[in-house]
Structure 1
Amino acid sequence: MSLDACAALVQRGDPDRFAAVMAAPQSARARLLPLYALNLEVARAPWVSKEAMIAEMRLQWWRDVVAEPGPRAHEVAAPLHDLIQSARLPLDVLDRMIEARRWDIYSAPFEDQAALDAYLEDTGAGLMWLTACALGAPPEAGAAVRAYGWASALASYLRAIPELAQRGRIPLVDGRPEAVAELALRGLIRLEAARRAGVPRAQRPALLAGWQAEGLLKLAARDPAAVAEGRLQLSDFARRGRLLWQATTGLF
């Protein structure tokens, strides 16, 4: 299958990341799209059926794809296989990203804040590190990329809180406004840590997917009630302006 199939999938199912891909240099897009398509496939796997066993089987199928990345007749698996081989992506990071989605299958809450932190680390931070690796990131860039990815994942997660609650999940360990504001501040601290550490310019297209993170986290810290009420959104002007600024300056 072609990268066009991955692009179409991401465009339909994850328009924010698709916008980030389109803002990235053309040379980077072929390395970003298979991973964003994989993320979309595993993120939606827990929700395609009410039968937990079916969701478990879907996630296991993707774990098998990663563990034994032979050619498969699937629109995402084939380009992903090529990328895993050519970029020598860390298979353990891929596996943890998929395995973490098992939490989404069931309605049990996170055991504690550390469990939620680990979920964000394995999903969002792991994905951002994988995309940076696909662009040739050196190991020493890992801490900064993962910090930025964790904060970006938190911002997206907070935006999804109303939908998760509607689906019967208990998404936050502590949903009190003051606790939500504190969580958002932790995300902002990680963003600042990533900036201080720095990321090589060649890998910064991987960070474009987090272009809304700072604005969303600042809003959540200032107005934590916006999270539960579904008002955690940036204006179209702010969204487009931030993406354009980050893409043209290379800053994050």
Structure 2
Amino acid sequence: MSLDACAALVQRGDPDRFLAVMAAPLAARSRLLPLYALNLEVARAPWVSKEPMIAEMRLQWWRDVVAEPAPRAHEVARPLHELIQQAALPLDVLDRMIEARRWDIYRDPFEDQAAMDAYLEDTGAGLMWLSARALGASATAEPAVRAYGWAAALAQYLRAIPELAARGRVPLLDGRPEAVAQLAVRGLIRLNAARKATATVPRAIRPALLAGWQAEGLMKQASRDPAAVGDGRLQLSDFARRGRLLWQATTGLF
């Protein structure tokens, strides 16, 4: 029942990842859903209250869930704990993924590009690596999977720019169109390099990469039309979205 709760949570709160997990083989879904549900819980924790202390407490609660040896009676925490034990997930990666969300609580901009890169590394790249580990990936696959996850995280972050700005955050170090286009090109370069590297990973762990199925299309659009990022027009057509997902799911190519 807790796994069903994870699925319902992801379907409501993260429909793109839900489509990705539903395109994965049935055996992979039970491994991916608790991680995607955790990601959703910690991603929204900074926004549930205007009081920073409350948001900090929510994130700390999840850090405690990861660190404690016994499961908590919670619809996401329990299946997550089981997955951590079964797949021997690295606790430090989980902790950094949660801790990184502290940036979302406050209104301070990133200190520099390295800080923004680290945020994407700990959140999106970390989540994709955890997903791959949950499906049995060995340590040799980590650089390629993380690179692919970083690029996918950047694409989704660019989509979130208008919402972050509306909530009083300073999401970009340089919001000029040429700087946004350059950032998107940088993401495409990293995505293409990661794609070559992930071509050698076992097919069993490739469902973990499905969550990045929109990355290339979104960043190509941002590089051509950077104003679409700030205007909230960074979006693939429904045909392109579903077609790309179906192609990746059936071919195993990314």
Q: TM-score range by the shorter chain?
A: over 0.9
Task: Show the 5 A alignment for 1:18-167.
Answer: 18-167=18-167
2:231 maps to 229
Task: Show the 5 A alignment for 1:166-185.
Answer: 166-185=166-185
Whether contact under 8 Å (1:141, 1:200) holds in the other structure is no
Q: Which consecutive segments of 4 or more residues in structure 1 shift more than 2 A?
A: none
2:253 maps to 251
Same amino acid, percent of matched pairs = 86
Deviation of 1:202 after TM superposition, in Å, equals: 1.1
How far apart in 1 are the matches of 2:224 and 2:238?
Answer: 20
1:217 paired residue among 219, 228, 231: 219
How far apart in 1 are the matches of 2:156 and 2:35?
Answer: 17
SS in 2 for 1:82: helix
2:240 maps to 238
* 1:117-154 deviation per Cα after TM superposition (whole angstroms, max 9, x unaligned): 00000000000000000000010100110000000000
Aligned positions, number: 252
How far apart in 1 are the matches of 2:73 and 2:221?
Answer: 43
* Partner amino acid, structure 2, of 1:59: L
**Structure 2: which 5+ residue stretches go unaligned?**
none
How far apart in 2 are the matches of 1:124 and 1:71?
Answer: 25
How far apart in 2 are the matches of 1:77 and 1:2?
Answer: 9
How far apart in 2 are the matches of 1:91 and 1:155?
Answer: 26
How far apart in 1 are the matches of 2:187 and 2:172?
Answer: 15
Whether contact under 8 Å (1:89, 1:133) holds in the other structure is yes
Deviation of 1:196 after TM superposition, in Å, equals: 1.6
* 1:91-111 deviation per Cα after TM superposition (whole angstroms, max 9, x unaligned): 000000000000000000000
Whether contact under 8 Å (1:43, 1:101) holds in the other structure is yes
How far apart in 2 are the matches of 1:15 and 1:231?
Answer: 18
Deviation of 1:197 after TM superposition, in Å, equals: 1.3
TM-score by length of 1: 0.99
Answer with 65-74 or 224-233: which moved more: 65-74
How far apart in 1 are the matches of 2:40 and 2:26?
Answer: 21
**Structure 1: which 5+ residue stretches go unaligned?**
none
Deviation of 1:69 after TM superposition, in Å, equals: 3.9
Whether contact under 8 Å (1:23, 1:247) holds in the other structure is yes
* Partner amino acid, structure 2, of 1:240: R
TM-score by length of 2: 0.98
* 1:144-195 deviation per Cα after TM superposition (whole angstroms, max 9, x unaligned): 1000000000000000000000000000011111111111111111111112
Deviation of 1:200 after TM superposition, in Å, equals: 2.0
Deviation of 1:71 after TM superposition, in Å, equals: 1.7
Whether contact under 8 Å (1:211, 1:246) holds in the other structure is yes
How far apart in 2 are the matches of 1:70 and 1:12?
Answer: 28
* Partner amino acid, structure 2, of 1:10: V
SS in 1 for 2:73: coil
